[in-house]
Amino acid sequence: MTLPIGSTRLVHVDVGGCRLNVWEAGDSGPAVLLVHGIPTNHRLWRDVVPAVAGHARVFAVDMLGYGDSPAPAGHPVDLASQAALLVGLMDALGLDRAVVVGHDLGGGVAQIMAVTNGGRVAGLGVVDGVCYDGWPVPLVRAMKAAWPLVAQLPPPALGALLRPALRTLFAHQERAGTFVEDVVGPWLRPGGPRQLARHLRSLDSVYTQTVAPFLPRLQLPVEVVWGRQDHQMKPRYGQRLADDLPGARLTWVDDASHLVPADRPDVVAEAVLRLVARA
């Protein structure tokens, strides 16, 4: 893949024996950590990063077991484990604090980080993120129920399953093509279907339900961005998050579904920049 801005690099960072793939961009300013969801990877943010990198140091990570971050056998990949790894990633990168922005599962990871490591999170962004008891979302819930079958699929068959499903998460279908291939590609490698099944098995709303009572206690800048057409993480969850998080700014995106960072990257970038300015 050709990266869209000049001052960028892809690096693997060792965190407790795990190798996390990170797209770094920008040379100065506050640190911003961008966290994707399932089944995406750091490329979800490819049109957000250029707009932010002129004002901040941006780190778009592949969570463990996604994209180019291989998951060691037996290592947990649940939300709490991912959050702990990302705090370790901040340590490895020498980041005392960062604005943390997450989409989908990444939104849940960001909430966990803010509650459990509040001093490290300078600002919190949740973009159509999992929360409360509202997930796994219908599409992923159906796949989770069939995880033994998913694990046995030949990679091309998994690709044939994922492509049309991912397209339903876009309001702007003209933007779907390249993004869908960026998402599907890593799962087509040998072992990809088994790895996706491993993630599906780990999905449990207990993690977001556990931190939910602590959200009203957070004292930090918060941006909540939600697609009005999201038929997976329903808009009522975005409103509930914004109500529970003190001082949160809620941005509705009328012409976006679930994959808002790909559907309307301009709106997401504006929200991230507001957090950067307040951090």
> Would you report the helix, strand and coil content of the chain in percent, each value rounded to 5?
45, 20, 35
pLDDT class of 279 with cuts at 50, 70, 90: confident
- Extract the tokens encoding 213: 């009572």
**If pLDDT is split at 50, 70 and 90, which confidence band does 7 have?**
low
Taking residues 264-274, what's their average pLDDT? Answer: 98
Instruction: Tell me the pLDDT band of 118, cut-offs 50, 70 and 90.
Output: confident
pLDDT higher than threshold 70 for residue 3:
no
> Domains (ranges, CATH) in the chain?
8-137+205-278 (3.40.50.1820)
Instruction: Write the CB contacts of 42 (distance below 8 Å, at least 6 apart in sequence).
Output: 21, 22, 23, 34, 36, 60, 61, 62, 67
